[in-house]
Amino acid sequence: DEADLLLAAVSRKGSGWERSKAGDGVQEARTSSTSWCRGACTAEDIVVGVSRRIEELTGVPTENCEYMQFLRYDAGQYYRRHHDQNAQRASAWGPRLYTF
């Protein structure tokens, strides 16, 4: 299954799991753990394939996108409605347009 392959890739080559942040830091709106797919993780075949499909769907080149973010929820953890778009407008990718 594609989701299992993505999870395996980020578990092997991602940034490692740490408490999720929202906005400027740890918030009670989200108690999950996060791992980012950066560096070697982005070259994994499954990541490249999914990234290409997202690029085709949105028309936004992969190099203009944020890195893939993976969330893990253990028993009792949650995600509540919140706003966490904190990318600087001057950043290479600008403000977030889409979330998959």
Higher pLDDT, 27 or 69: 69
In a domain, 28, yes or no: yes
In a domain, 46, yes or no: yes
With bands split at pLDDT 50, 70 and 90, how would you rate the model's confidence at 21?
A: confident
Count of structural domains within the chain:
1
Quote the pTM value: 0.75
Segment 43-67 mean pLDDT: 94
Which structure tokens are listed for 26? 């740890």
- The domain of 26 spans 2-72
In a domain, 57, yes or no: yes
Q: Distance from CA of residue 79 to its chain's centroid?
A: 15
In a domain, 92, yes or no: no
In a domain, 85, yes or no: no
* Statement: residue 2 has pLDDT above 90: yes
* Statement: residue 9 has pLDDT above 70: yes
Q: Rounded distance, CA 42 to CA 90, Å?
A: 23
In a domain, 89, yes or no: no
In a domain, 14, yes or no: yes
Q: Rounded distance, CA 14 to CA 88, Å?
A: 23
Per-residue confidence (pLDDT) for residue 56, from 0 to 100: 96
* Statement: residue 86 has pLDDT above 60: no
Per-residue confidence (pLDDT) for residue 90, from 0 to 100: 64
Classified as helix, coil or strand, 20 is coil
Classified as helix, coil or strand, 10 is helix
* Statement: residue 23 has pLDDT above 70: no
Per-residue confidence (pLDDT) for residue 66, from 0 to 100: 86
In a domain, 62, yes or no: yes
Of residues 18, 15, 23, the one with CA closest to residue 72: 18
